Every structure is written in C-alpha cells, then in structure tokens.
Amino acid sequence: MRNTVGRMNSLGYDPTSPESILQFAKRLTGRTLAEVVDMSGVIENHHHKGDLGSMVEKFYFRIATNSLSEPDFPESGVELKTTGVKRNSKGEFQAKERLVLKMIDYVGLVDEQWESSSLMEKCGMMLLLFSLYEVDVAVFNRRFVIDPILFTFPEDDLVQIRLDWLTIKDKIQRGLAHELSEGDTYYLGACRKGSGGEKERLRRQPNSNVLARSRAFALKIKYVNKIIEDGALRTGTLGLTGTHGIVDATKAKFEPFLNRTVDEISAQFNFYKKGTNDKSFFHDLVFRILGSGGRSVPELDKSGVEVKTIRVNRDWKPFEAMSFPGFKYMDIVAEDWEDSVFHEKLEQKFLFVIFRDSGDGVLRLEKVGYWNMPYRDREEARRVWEETKRRVQLDARDLPKSSESHVAHVRPKARDSRDTLPTPQGIDLVKKCFWLNREYVFQVVQDL
C-alpha cells in the first residue's frame, strides 16, 4: 500500500484513499457487523432494508450518515453500498435485488447535465459490500460472504448508462414521470422506491399535474450479478462508444443480414442446423450475428435483454406461441407473483428477431426490435399466473388455456410425457411453463 500512514485515522484507514477504505472494508469479509463492532442495544428497525448500509457507515467506518448528493466518503469520492446476495441453484452467489443508487428528484433532474450529474457525482465510485440475505436475521447478523469491490464503471458501460440516464430524464421532462418503467432502459433503471402501499407519498413532477410514485436510479439485477461474477466488469463485445449504445450497436450487427435468407446467413457463418430437430438453431444463429460463439453477449447479459426468435408466415403471423422457463407445481403454490420467474422475465426487455416466410417456404431475417411488455398486459399476465397458482392448489390437471386470456396460457414443456413433477394433489404431472399466446405475439410483432 502507498505511504498513507500519516493520514490513517484512529480506526486504521485513510478516508482520503479509496484503496485504503477498500482494504479496511475487506476485514469484514466472512464476518457479520455484530461480530466486528459492538451492536448490543441496536435492535430497533432491524427489518428495515437500508439499515445495514447506514449501520456499517456509523459503527464500522464511523462516518456521519448522509443521504445528500455527496458520496459517503467525500474526500475520496467513494460511495458505500451494501447489498444482499443469495445462493442460486448451483450454489453460486447472486444478487438478491437491483442495486439502488440514488432517489430521483424529478424536479431537479431536468436541469441537470450528464457531465455534472448528481448521480455520477455520488455514485461514480462505489464500495460494494455483499451480505448474505437471510429472512428473520437482523441485518447486523448477516454475513459478508464475498470480498467487497471498489467499483467504477467501465467506459463502454458508461456509454449505455448515459443513454439510460438521458432516456429517464427525457421522459420526466415530457411530464411522464408516472409512466417510468424499468423496462425503458438497459443498465440503469428507474425502479419503484417506497412502500407502494397506501402510505406512499406521491411526488410532484415537472410539466404535469399528475403525481408520480417515487423512483430511484438503480442498476439492474443482471448488471449486479455480472459485478459479483467477475469481481469487476469486463468490457463488452458489441463496441459501444460515444452515443452508440446497445440499441444502435445491435442494429448495426443485424443490418448486413436484413432480408437475407437463413441459408445465406448460415453459410456466411459456416454455422448449420445440426439435424432436422435442432430447435435452437435460429436462436444460436442470431448469436453468431451478434458476434458470439455461444449463447451470450456481455452487454445483453448485463442488461437482462432476452433474445427471442420468432418465425412468422407471409402475414407476419407467428408459427408458434412463445415459451418461458418451466415452473414447479410445488413451488408456485408457495410463491408470490413478484418473486416469480415469469414476472421477472416480463419486466425484462426482449430483442425479437423475426424470420419471415414470404410464401415460398424460404425464411428471411426481416425485422429486429426491442420490446418490453406494457403495464396493462403485465397485469393480465399476473392474473393468469395467480389463476394458475390457485388451480394448481385445487386441481393441477386443469390450468389456464389460451382461450382464457388474450396474453398468456399454460402448456407442457418437458423432455417427454414421462418428464413429470409432483403436484399438491400427490400425483405427478408433466412439466409445464407459461406461454405468451400466438395471437398476442402476433400483435406485438405487428407493432414492432
């Protein structure tokens, strides 16, 4: 470490040095706050989510708590953030939720410039601490299970974050703060903040008399996952630069292949259908177009964009409905909509790639577009999900059909009919998943 001894405070870190603050934070790894400092007598409000962050600031770093536009360590420009992690099915740590950066001040934001934005002033450099989320465990008893990260945004990510910031600002400027949605943007989202209940205080917004829910700038959960996976973030592969963000970069990748036949594209990449039943061929071919050898592009992973290929006929009518990940009967009855995979997927953005058969049996790449589900349709999907949950409890053999909703239905998704899961009725039934109706996808494709 550099010679900063002269500036060390009595606790043993130098508040003017980000590196020193990081080293001091690393002493927390593997421990809980209560194991490191005396937390006896501090039991109030232990269910309050934001509390661990302010407790770490107050009891560990002994800095004054502030929620103003300055970073927590103003002399070094470091903002401290604690966030929850959980283990996924493979046992790896992943973000429990999005990382909230800063409340959005609707009135003040419209006068800000990106270069001097209060968001970047506060969160340009962040010290991230990760604690293992456990229900009913007081936050100061939650363990910091992985090393803290001193995080600054990679250059190419800032290209997109700036565009996201501008998108949010623009919507507010147009008096549409009440219509903000996380699906509007890619890395940086405007997430709902506050109870959401009756107590929630609605906020004034510029250029409209409609009151808006309070929202905060937040990094999408997928983005936080990448930070956890990589320790920091590798740069992407799409080539984001200047004002050329994810939308422009992907558009440029597809441009040379528009109106070309699948066979031509296939030949160009020397990437062919493996057999007559290679059902992921179109999807995998799209990733070749995007410059990936597999099924992953860093920028799309980080923004939670999901690539879906849709084959349509001459009239743009999809050949099939659109499937989503399978669910477990025994899980869904214990789950809330907000925590469900289907809900998570429908909040994300989709990159639809349309292959059209113009009548001669030859498929051509004809249209590409980003889409996220409008609020009212998500509410309808929610209704179908709730109805599914209800009927799984009642009789899992009878689940919502496509005739029961214009948006979604439930149908098998399994290896074969012997690929089953247990139900609350004690019988095993073939695995199923949620599907977006063919007719609904048809509407979406037309409006794209």
Task: Point out which residues bind DNA (CB under 7 A).
Answer: 274-280, 282-283, 294-296, 306-309, 311, 317, 319-323, 325-326, 401-403, 409, 411-419, 430-431, 438-439
Q: Are 436 and 322 in contact (CB under 8 A)?
A: yes
If the CB atoms of residues 8 and 448 are measured against DNA, the closer one turns out to be 448
Task: Give me the least distance between CB of 277 and DNA, in Å please.
Answer: 3
If the CB atoms of residues 204 and 397 are measured against DNA, the closer one turns out to be 397
If the CB atoms of residues 90 and 199 are measured against DNA, the closer one turns out to be 90
Proportion of the chain in helix, strand, coil states, percent, rounded to 5 = 35, 25, 40
- How many other CB atoms are found less than 10 A from the CB of residue 417? 10
Distances (CA, A) of 351 to 49, 196, 235, 272, 368: 33, 30, 21, 22, 7
Task: Give me the least distance between CB of 96 and DNA, in Å please.
Answer: 18
Q: Are 80 and 129 in contact (CB under 8 A)?
A: yes
Task: Give me the least distance between CB of 48 and DNA, in Å please.
Answer: 32
Task: Give me the least distance between CB of 271 and DNA, in Å please.
Answer: 10
If the CB atoms of residues 98 and 432 are measured against DNA, the closer one turns out to be 432
Task: Give me the least distance between CB of 283 and DNA, in Å please.
Answer: 3
From 261, 251, 250, select the one nearest 366 (Cα to Cα): 261
- How many other CB atoms are found less than 10 A from the CB of residue 418? 8
Task: Give me the least distance between CB of 141 and DNA, in Å please.
Answer: 32
Q: Please tell me what DSSP assigns to residue 56.
A: I
In whole angstroms, give the CA distance from residue 181 to residue 215. Answer: 9
If the CB atoms of residues 49 and 401 are measured against DNA, the closer one turns out to be 401
From 390, 388, 350, 353, select the one nearest 371 (Cα to Cα): 350
If the CB atoms of residues 75 and 278 are measured against DNA, the closer one turns out to be 278
